[in-house]
Amino acid sequence: MQGLRDTAHVNISPAALGVLETIEHAGFEAWLVGGCVRDALIGRNRGDVDLATSATWQQVQQACTAAGMAVHETGTAHGTVTVVNDGEVVEVTTYRIDGDYRDARHPESVQFTSSIVEDLARRDFTINAMAWHPARGLLDPFGGSTDLDAGVIRAVGNPDQRFEEDALRILRAVRFASQLGFSIDPATAAGMNAHVGSLAHISVERVLVELEALLLGDAARSVLMDYPQVIDAVLPELTPMRGLDQRTPYHVYDVMEHTAYVVEHSPATPLVRWAALFHDSGKPDAFFVDDTGRGHFYGHAIVSVDIAREALGRLKMNHALLEQILLLVRYHDKAIKPAPKFVKRTLRLLGDDPELFEALCDLKRADSLAHAPEHQAGVEKSAQLRDCLHEVLDQEQAFALKHLAIDGTDVIDAGVAKGPAIGEVLEQVLEAVISDEVPNERDALLAFVRTLTAERP
């Protein structure tokens, strides 16, 4: 068979192989396909396992149910069932050929076939168009293993046709480039750029998923810089950042390249990397040059918050995560002295959340690493802030209202009328504790409250 070759041992779980063997014992052909084959060949861990088979979904259901496996009808219109064997989930799909695509995303119809090669031919990239069998080895009709060895993402067949069929493949290409550290074949990249307008047909939820996976990739920086037409098609807020000379000795990169480096230097978490991507998005709007020719960006953090809110809101980012991202963007350039009272005041601004303060330290460190080499003092400063935070936490110092030795009832008993005044007084008490003006002890705090009460009109 064309493209069939032997391979070294491929690490596929016994549970997945058990599904394959069950289908073949019933008289049908089955192969492991797609991403699980690609990742197994390069030793990359992957949870999802996909099988393609000559059997219909009903025949798969019958064979696997008889073998004691659970089978769920998750996509039978496209020939797909989900088989659960020994707790592992395996997607099983009948060999198929896709019909015409009308919405730049989904085929209008599918036609089932008996040929695994025809099934592989409909897939997006060569590295995803391989099949593997424990006895027959690797089936690679489109040179996916060669591209895998070379670190290249190449469309199967005609790139224009692949991206005209399904625009999501454009984002998948840059996501794979970021996750795997691969380059994109020039003809494939040209096809992507020619069809970026079709990304408007992709649901924002899917766009968000692909972008986040891209941001978390090890090669996110190079992808953000190398494929601007694709990235900016779904995040047009980044376009003004590209090529904007900051005209300051603190920076050696334009705003976008600085941003890409901040992303790279950030821990691979959605919170910090999204904040890194947008932390300077307000600089183009805030930019001005003084009489000496030096650039300034006063107030850019506030502008960046508005831009990030608009962009991530459009993508339907989870509200709780969005609010945390916006806090990091808002305070990414806040000057914080590495002393307990200043750390505690910043914690108040961050919703009394120590983990969010740690994330702010991560962002500040990454931001500093992306400055000119002689202006990276923020790296040490962020470490000092983190140490100070741990000191506050280890010593159980008060930085939130819940940490005070008194509560609202005590304030009322001390003579403060019910209503907004209670919260106002407690905030004053907390600030006094944070500033070391009053110890966090009940009697001392009540005495302080009585003083405040006497001063109130």
Same domain, 253 and 341: yes
Q: Which contacts qualify for 4-10: CB closer than 8 Å, 24 or more apart?
A: 4/136, 4/137, 4/138, 4/139, 4/140, 5/137, 5/138, 5/140, 5/145, 6/137, 6/138, 7/41, 7/132, 7/137, 7/138, 10/37, 10/40, 10/41, 10/132, 10/134
CATH code of residue 214: 1.10.110.30
Residue 109: which pLDDT band, with cuts at 50, 70 and 90? low
Cβ neighbour number for residue 293 with a 10 Å cutoff: 7
What is the per-residue pLDDT for 45? 75
Contacts of 134-140 with C-beta under 8 Å, sequence gap 24+, read 134/10, 134/12, 134/17, 134/20, 136/4, 137/4, 137/5, 137/6, 137/7, 138/4, 138/5, 138/6, 138/7, 138/37, 138/41, 139/1, 139/3, 139/4, 139/31, 140/3, 140/4, 140/5
Is the same domain home to 176 and 316? no
Residue in 305, 27, 9, 279 with CA at minimum distance from that of residue 137:
9
- Please determine, for residue 320, whether its predicted confidence score (pLDDT) is greater than 90: yes
Task: Give the 3-state secondary structure of 269-305.
Answer: CHHHHHHHHHCCCCHHHHCEECCCCCEECCCHHHHHH
- What's the pLDDT score for residue 338? 97
Are 1 and 31 spatial neighbours (Cβ–Cβ below 8 Å)? Answer: no
Q: What are 225's two structure tokens? A: 């810089």
In this prediction, residues 76-99 reach a mean pLDDT of 92
Q: What is the mean pLDDT of residues 239-254?
A: 96
- Residue that finishes a domain, picked among 344, 361, 394: 394
pLDDT at 2: 42
Same domain, 306 and 273: yes
Task: Evaluate whether 170 touches 177 at the Cβ level (below 8 Å).
Answer: no
Tell whether 315 and 371 lie within a shared domain.
yes
Task: Indicate the pLDDT class of residue 453, thresholds 50, 70 and 90.
Answer: confident
Higher pLDDT, 403 or 13: 403
Token pair listed for 57: 């979904």
Contact present, 73 and 84 (Cβ < 8 Å): no
Rounding to the nearest 10 degrees, give the CA dihedral for residues 284, 272, 214, 223: 50
Q: Are residues 299 and 387 in the same domain?
A: yes
Return the residue matching tokens 């070294």.
8
Give the three-class secondary structure for 394. Answer: helix
Q: How far is 78 from 19, CA to CA, in rounded Å?
A: 19
Domain shared by 12 and 67, yes or no: yes
Report the domain count for the chain. 4
Q: Which residues, 6 or more positions from 321, have their beta carbon under 8 angstroms from its beta carbon?
A: 270, 271, 274
Residue 102: pLDDT band by 50, 70, 90 thresholds?
low
Q: Which of 150, 168, 185 is the last residue of a domain?
A: 150
Percent of the chain past pLDDT 90, that is, above it, reads 89
Q: What is the mean pLDDT of the chain?
A: 93
Phi, psi of 5 (to 5 degrees): -150, 160
Read off the amino acid at residue 199: L
DSSP reduced 3-state for 27: coil
225-235 pLDDT, tens digit per residue, is 999 999 999 99
Would you place residue 454 in the very low, low, confident or very high pLDDT band (cuts 50, 70, 90)? confident
Same domain, 219 and 282: no
Q: What strands, in cross-sheet order, belong to the sheet with 49-53? A: 4-5, 137-139, 131-133, 30-33, 49-53, 88-94, 80-85, 70-75
Q: How far is CA 250 from CA 281, 295, 300, 302, 442, in A?
A: 17, 10, 16, 20, 48
Spatial CB neighbours of 283, under 8 Å, sequence gap ≥ 6? 241, 244, 246, 255, 297, 300, 303, 304
Q: Rounded CA gap, 42 and 10, in Å?
A: 9
Residues 250 and 382 in one domain: yes
Same domain for 244 and 142? no
- Kindly give, in sequence order, each residue whose CB lies less than 8 Å from that of residue 98, ignoring residues fewer than 6 positions away: 107, 109, 110, 111, 122, 165
Query: What pLDDT is stored for residue 107 in this prediction?
Result: 56
Give mean pLDDT, residues 259-268: 98
State the average pLDDT over residues 378-399. Answer: 97
The DSSP letter of residue 249 is T
Q: What's the confidence (pLDDT) of residue 106?
A: 55
User: Global pTM?
Assistant: 0.92
Given a contact cutoff of 8 angstroms between Cβ atoms, the answer to whether 288 and 296 are in contact is yes
Quick check: 101 pLDDT over 70? no
Angstrom distance (rounded) from CA 199 to CA 260: 22
24-61 residue pLDDT tens: 999 999 999 999 999 999 988 776 899 999 999 999 99
Instruction: State residue 11's pLDDT score.
Output: 75
Domain region containing 433: 401-455
pLDDT digits (tens, 9 = 90+) for 122-154: 999 999 999 999 999 999 999 999 999 999 999
Check whether residue 222 and residue 268 sit in a common domain.
Answer: no
Give the domain-ending residue among 180, 207, 233.
233
Mean pLDDT, rounded, for 105-128: 85
Res 1 pLDDT > 70? no
Give the model confidence (pLDDT) of 187-202 as tens digits.
999 999 999 999 999 9
pLDDT value at position 4?
Answer: 45
CATH code, 134: 3.30.460.10
Q: Are residues 184 and 143 in the same domain?
A: no
**Structure tokens of 233?**
């098609």
Query: Are 124 and 179 part of one and the same domain?
Result: no
